[in-house]
Amino acid sequence: MYGNNPVTGNEKAACEPLALGGWSMLGDLLSIEALGRAGFDFVGLDVQHGFFGFESTVRAIQQLDALGVPAFVRINFREIERLPRYLDAGASGAIIAMVTGPEDAELAVRLSRYQPKGARSYGGQRYGLRQEPADVADVQPSIYVMIETAEAARRVNEIAAVPQISGLYVGPVDLSLALGVPADRTDQDFVAALDQVISAAHSQRIQAGTFSTSGADARELAAIGFDEVVVSSDIALLRASLNEELAAARKHVEVEGRR
């Protein structure tokens, strides 16, 4: 996290190194453990689209905490009132989906900070089992907001300037749908939208993040300026591996002359 001090493009080179994340849609603890042990810099728990209830999210946070891996929850802004409970459970931070402007980002930050600077009620992370700083003003979970609506894209510079947000995340498919352009990095309008988010984030010395479909795709996204990239999800990787291995097995059978 860089803070919100404006920075030039040249100064950006001195910022933090690339962070690569794992992502869980399945909500299964064995899948969470595999992600946690794989070497990712963080693991996202998709409460917005994945198969997580509150209790399964808490168990996943506990497991990642025990493995020493930061856990981030992705929630829809329409469910922002749930944010403090995930933070009480020990989440390192949150990625807030479907924001429309700086007001949404400001509310997310307020709900993540204790009074009097914020609006979060004190309960203690996992109710005293997880040690917190002596001064709870130092408890400042990372809050990222997603740029994936037309309004958010229009107001991206205002959103990036909200104090204490950690970064902007592009939701590539939703952003492409909102703007009416293909989610294709050969499309000039889509590339321009990505560049706008990256520039807005870096101008405020905060992170620019997004989602990839593979390790090779993650490398390409890092090359165009993203600081954090999610390397696919557990279900996507499982599906791809199943398809690849089944195709390989069938090819072998065909080579041997069997049907």
Read off the pLDDT of each residue in 46-64 and give the average, rounded to a whole number: 96
Is residue 78 packed enough to be buried (19+ CB in 10 Å), middle (13-18) or exposed (0-12)? exposed
pLDDT category of residue 127 using cuts at 50, 70 and 90: low
Give the residue ranges of DSSP H helices in 113-233: 150-154, 156-160, 172-179, 188-203, 215-223
Read off the pLDDT of each residue in 82-86 and give the average, rounded to a whole number: 96
* 11 pLDDT higher than 70: no
Please name the CATH architecture into which domain 14-255 falls.
Answer: Alpha-Beta Barrel (3.20)
* 210 pLDDT higher than 70: yes
Smallest Cα–Cα separation from 101: which of 169, 185, 160?
A: 160
pTM: 0.89
What pLDDT digit, counting tens, does each position of 13-28 carry?
435 689 999 999 999 9
Structure confidence at residue 253 (pLDDT): 67
pLDDT category of residue 235 using cuts at 50, 70 and 90: very high
Mean model confidence pLDDT for the chain: 91
Structure confidence at residue 13 (pLDDT): 40
Give the start-to-end residue ranges of the domains of the chain: 14-255
